[in-house]
Amino acid sequence: ATVSVLNWWVSAACRTQPPRFRRGAQGAGRSVTMRTDFKFLNLCGGVYSQGNLLFANSGKELISPVGNRVMNYDLVKSANKASTFETLKDVMCMDLTPDETLLVMVDVDGRALFVNFVAGVGLEVINLKPGTRLVKFSPDGRYLAVANGRQIQVWSTPPNRVLQYRSVHLLKRINVCSGDVAALKWSKCSRYLLVSSEDCAVRIIPLRKPAQAAKENSVYVKPHVTLAVHKCPVIDAFWADDAGTTIYSAAADRVLAVWKMTDRDRICDAETFKKKQVGEYDHSADDAKKPLPGWGNGEEDEDAEYEECEEEEEGEEEEEEETTARPSAPDLTAKNWQVKKKLFLEHDARLQTCAFHQQRGLFFAGFKNGVFGVYTTIPDVKCIHTLSISEQKISSVAINPTGEWVAFGSSKLGQLLVWEWKSETYILKQQSHYYDVTTVGFSPDGAVLATSSDDGKVKLWNGSTGFCYATFRDHQGPVAELRFANNTTLWSASADGTVRGYDLRRYRQFRILQPPVAAQLSCLALDPSGEIVIAGSLTEPDVYMWNAQTGQLVEVFSGHDGPVSCVDFHSSGTVFASASWDKTIRICDIYSAGADKTAAAKAVNSEALRFNSEVVSLKFSPDGMRLAVLTLSGDLAMYNAEDTSDVTPLTTISTHRDVKGGWRSAEATNPFKGVNNGRFFKSISWSPDSQCVLLGGNSKWVTVYSAAQSFLLEKFSVTNNRTFDGMSDVYDYKASTEAGNVHNLDMVDSDDEDAARKVVRLPGAQKGDQGKRKNTRPIARANAVVWSPTGKEWAAATTDGLLLYSTETDSQRFNPISLSLGLTPMDVYGELEKGNHVLALLKALRLNDAVVLQRTFYGIPPQEVPFVSDNLPTDMLVPLLDVLSRELHANHQIERCLRWACHLMNRHGKYIQKKATATTSGAPADGQLQASLKLLHSQVVKRTLDLMKLTEQNKHTLGFLDATSTLAWKVREEAKPPQEAEDSTLHIPQLGHAARAAAANGDAANGDAASASEAEDDMDDEVEAAATPPAAPVAEPEDEAPKAAGKKRKLVAKGSAKKVVKKKAKRAA
């Protein structure tokens, strides 16, 4: 209540016009009952932006940079999760320690963020120089190597992985390269760095502590080794073995060099070095034992290198002790290196990126034309497989620890692939929209999201996993609007002049609707039944109506004088409203009575509302009582939708102050003075309970307003990424120059088109666009917002992608409802052990901790569920329904959750029906209960579909197993001796059917002992009946011996048959 009052005062102070309430309106004093404490949940629209890819040690998780966040992809469960921590700008490079506890992310400005990867908590931020492209942790996790241009820096890492003051220290700067560093690799012993650079050379740089080191983490740089044989810039180099005696280096001209360490020692003095160059050096000389400082060291002084060598010779004895303690790490700089062989990759394009798997000896190469290849390196290079990903270059390659999966990322297309090269199948195949996401829509059950963009594609996303599982490419122009008719039907309107319907079960297009004249469609709406489709035109001032079943054009509504901006249907399905740039709104009844039913008559008789500014969006509330109208001037007006003759708004909310914020580079003055400079809201979405309105538009803010009380409830920033324009709240005077803003100038001086600028195509132009345009900074905005049908989530189509916000996030574990002094988790567990299940569940719900709730929920026996449901207070229904939804979503004991749901509905059905629906007297519906019911219903439907799919997939497998068991029994019977087979041929098949029937009876009775014993008795009776031979003619006995032998055979046959039946019954059970 305090927060609501404060928000009201803030919004009232920022409002230029006082709100106007309509006296006597229903719900004018209604309070907001739904939760508005939304937190960031996930990012669906982005897949990969730039930088390197990382595999976890398990090989089943992939980490990909997306904007200023990282995405964690679970390749087994097909799910992704965006990080809650973020950098100030786009991530340029990142790395993860071998123990997976520390993650470092470096943005384009050189700010490095150290994060505890397990807890998701930022530890420290250090400022590196802009242009840092590579970071690499040492195998022991103690050091971090950073490449910034030609310079290499070595830093210490936070030792305890906890938040502390100045836990990261710079240890050494190394300047040995004459070109920019292209790749960094640590040796397994964490004592050597393998550096690849654009000066066509590879260097081995030793890092070892000096004998007289004062600090524990100090690093000492010895003379390095330079390996130069390439004629093009080196892309990457790899250690081929753990000892580090073999090195592979790959250059841009597709040359793969193999280096071997020889037995010859390196020489030290310059005179002997000159003799070696002219071929006059004798390798048996005594002075060959002395090490040689590295040559071609770029900026570093040779005298300083010699001085460091002398310091090392002073501590020679202590270094020998260190070497003795670590015999597995040979001195890689004491011997000479030579090229054993050169290998060539057969391909037409230049090498862009590569990776090497040491255990398998496989080399993975990505080329600039979008093709990647898998090669063997032992004994020679041989191509195993090639695959064309796209027409653009491959930006990054990563291999999982087992070497079975390889991940590729293309930054230009936002494409991410994980390929299993053995079976030649995709493990992961995701791609984001080429342009910004413009529209978004939720399915009626809230499980599926649909997005579209100016690239003409429509994508379907799983809301729970965040994966895109279907893409439609039928439109030839930008998609303007998306609407779900039901859970299996989706409609889209495009600027190509078509409305297309998609079947989400078969994933195909089933209907195309076109206006009678060529027109660009700008908006779309469906009636509640999904049988009528209307669309507005951008080039013609008309609204077109089709029959969705037949695809025929029904009506053409005219009356506007300008392009139609938006249309929407009333919840009754008989009335729709259309808005235009002519500053009017027209409300039409599609089933109006009268003799004259022409479109012209309906246009004249339609109600018109006039405004002082252009109308950009309108939306009817779900309960059909209000009509929200948003204008270009920033006013949000609420009208009475039940009485269209009243043109006086119920409430008017001014959004001028709420939409402001964020300086843009195109603005010459301070954005906080004067007009909004193009900032306005353009998208409206009602909450399911019709109490709140969600607004988004050409601004970085998304706001939530109370529809009845007309004050600001919450305000969210769609992103904190300062790479986008319009994020900084401080006017940057330093960026203003005589030529214009620095951020809008083309400062790149390069002949390479890819390095200079990004080629921007015309939106919707898939072929024939040869123009090259300069790519400016994208502006942070929310193009569309939509509320989930459950009311607990909302989505925003932003420049950063599709953002999901929810009130139920993983971080909100402890949210108590009502606490007392003695209410603790141990108290809950104590009541559970005593058998007080009702009291234990009530205390767990009041404590509202996820771990305690889960343990209590599964600690209640199934037979106690009816009793607990009958004694549950009604105020605890919403928390318990949320628990059921979470457990169904996690696939935990579905039958138990369904039993709970059935008993709750049977016991509290009347109360739920009364509270979840609005009454005729004007009493509002319970928004929280309504949202919980919708969420539970969606999870039940989802689990039902999953079980149906699972049984359908395993139907033939079960049939195959049954046929195999029958065939195996026949084979065993045929393999028996003739006498035994003759005795058992008649009754064994009958015994098999009896055993199956007994097992089925036992399963149906859920393991009841009485039913099992009865089934066993029935089987024994069948055994006796089957084992008894048919009656033979009575004959006088000639001898007693044959009679005894016959009885013995009968008893043996009867006993063996009983054993067979018991064994089969046990197996069936």
The beta-strand segments (E) located in 368-472 are 371-376, 382-388, 396-399, 405-410, 415-420, 425-431, 437-442, 448-453, 458-462, 468-472
Q: How far is CA 402 from the centre of its chain?
A: 24
What is the enclosing helix (H) or strand (E) of 10? Answer: helix 2-14
Q: CA nearest 924: which of 76, 227, 33, 18?
A: 33
Using DSSP's 3-state secondary structure scheme, residue 1041 falls into helix
Burial of 24 (0-12, 13-18, 19+ CB in 10 A): exposed
Q: What's the pLDDT at 705?
A: 93
Which two structure tokens, joined as six digits, stand for 542?
A: 């008309």
Q: Rounded CA gap, 463 and 941, in Å?
A: 14
- 676-679: long-range contacts (C-beta < 8 A, 24 or more apart)? 676/634
Burial of 751 (0-12, 13-18, 19+ CB in 10 A): exposed
Q: What's the pLDDT at 624?
A: 87
Tens digits of per-residue pLDDT, 810-851? 544 455 556 676 788 888 888 888 888 888 888 888 887 888
Find out whether 235 and 351 touch, Cβ atoms under 8 Å: yes
User: Taking the chain, what is the end-to-end CA distance rounded to the nearest angstrom?
Assistant: 60
Q: Rounded CA gap, 808 and 44, in Å?
A: 17
What is the enclosing helix (H) or strand (E) of 155? Answer: strand 151-156
For residue 515, cis peptide bond before it (omega within 30 degrees of 0): no
Q: Rounded CA gap, 139 and 118, in Å?
A: 19
Q: What's the pLDDT at 534?
A: 94
Using DSSP's 3-state secondary structure scheme, residue 328 falls into coil
Q: Rounded CA gap, 790 and 809, in Å?
A: 15
Q: Rounded CA gap, 4 and 709, in Å?
A: 11
Q: CA nearest 383: which of 421, 331, 425?
A: 421
What is the enclosing helix (H) or strand (E) of 802? Answer: strand 801-806
Residue 643's contacts (CB-CB under 8 Å, 6 or more residues apart) are none
Q: What's the pLDDT at 1011?
A: 42
Q: What's the pLDDT at 493?
A: 94
Find out whether 720 and 88 touch, Cβ atoms under 8 Å: yes
Q: From residue 580, how far is each of 533, 613, 678 by CA, in Å?
A: 18, 10, 19
Helices vs. strands in the chain: H and E counts, helices first: 18, 59
Q: How many residues does the chain have?
A: 1069
Residue 554's contacts (CB-CB under 8 Å, 6 or more residues apart) are 532, 545, 546, 547
Q: What's the pLDDT at 327?
A: 43
Report CA Rg, the chain.
37
Q: Rounded CA gap, 784 and 702, in Å?
A: 10
Strand partners, 93: 106
Q: From residue 421, how far is each of 383, 469, 496, 874, 1053 by CA, in Å?
A: 12, 22, 40, 56, 58
Q: Rounded CA gap, 421 and 405, in Å?
A: 7
Q: Rounded CA gap, 906 and 890, in Å?
A: 25
DSSP 757-788: ----PPTT--SS-------PPPBP-EEEEEE-
Q: CA nearest 889: which of 946, 807, 844, 848?
A: 946
- Burial pattern 406-422, b for ≥16 Cβ within 10 A else e, equals bbbbbbbbbbbbbbebe
Strand partners, 685: 694
Q: Rounded CA gap, 637 and 710, in Å?
A: 10
Per-10-residue mean pLDDT for the chain, 1069 residues long?
34 34 34 72 89 90 92 87 90 91 91 88 87 90 90 86 75 88 90 90 77 43 78 90 88 90 66 53 44 34 34 36 47 82 85 89 88 83 83 87 90 88 87 90 90 92 88 91 92 93 92 91 91 91 91 88 91 89 88 49 59 90 90 89 78 87 67 63 90 91 89 89 82 70 61 44 50 66 90 90 82 56 83 88 84 87 88 83 83 82 85 66 60 80 82 85 85 70 41 40 41 43 42 42 51 56 63
Find out whether 612 and 637 touch, Cβ atoms under 8 Å: no
Tens digits of per-residue pLDDT, 452-477? 998 899 999 988 888 898 999 999 88
Three-state SS sequence of 59-96? CCEEEEEECCEEEEEECCCCEEEECCCCCCCCEEEEEE
Using DSSP's 3-state secondary structure scheme, residue 710 falls into coil
Tens digits of per-residue pLDDT, 374-388? 888 877 788 888 888
Q: CA nearest 561: which of 601, 512, 615?
A: 615
Using DSSP's 3-state secondary structure scheme, residue 361 falls into coil
Handedness of CA 923, 925, 928, 933 (dihedral sign): positive
Strand order from edge to edge, sheet including 712-717: 681-686, 692-697, 701-706, 712-717
